[in-house]
Amino acid sequence: MAKKSKKQQPGGTPATVALTAAGVAYTVHAYEHDPSHPSYGEEAAEAMGVSPDRVFKTLVADVDGTLTVAVVPVAGSLDLKALATAVGGKRAAMADPTLAERTTGYVRGGISPLGQRKKLPTVLDESATTHTTICVSAGRRGLEVELRPTDLTTLTAAVLAPIGRT
Segment 11-15 shows an average pLDDT of 86
pTM of the model: 0.90
pLDDT confidence band for 11 (50 / 70 / 90): low
Report the share of the chain in percent with pLDDT over 90: 76
Q: How far apart are CA 107 and CA 119, in angstroms?
A: 16
At 69-128, the pLDDT tens digits run: 999 999 899 999 999 999 999 999 999 999 999 999 999 889 999 999 999 999 999 999
SS3 140: strand
Q: Please count the CA atoms within 13 angstroms of the CA of 42 that sit on its side-chain side.
A: 8
pLDDT of residue 46: 86
pLDDT confidence band for 41 (50 / 70 / 90): confident
Q: Quick one: angle between helices 149-156 and 14-22, nearest 10? A: 100
Which has the higher per-residue pLDDT, 55 or 42? Answer: 55
Buried b (16+ CB within 10 A) or exposed e, 29-60: bbbebeeeeeebbebbbebbebebbbbbbbbb
pLDDT exceeds 90 at position 40 = no
pLDDT of residue 38: 78
Handedness of CA 23, 51, 32, 153 (dihedral sign): negative
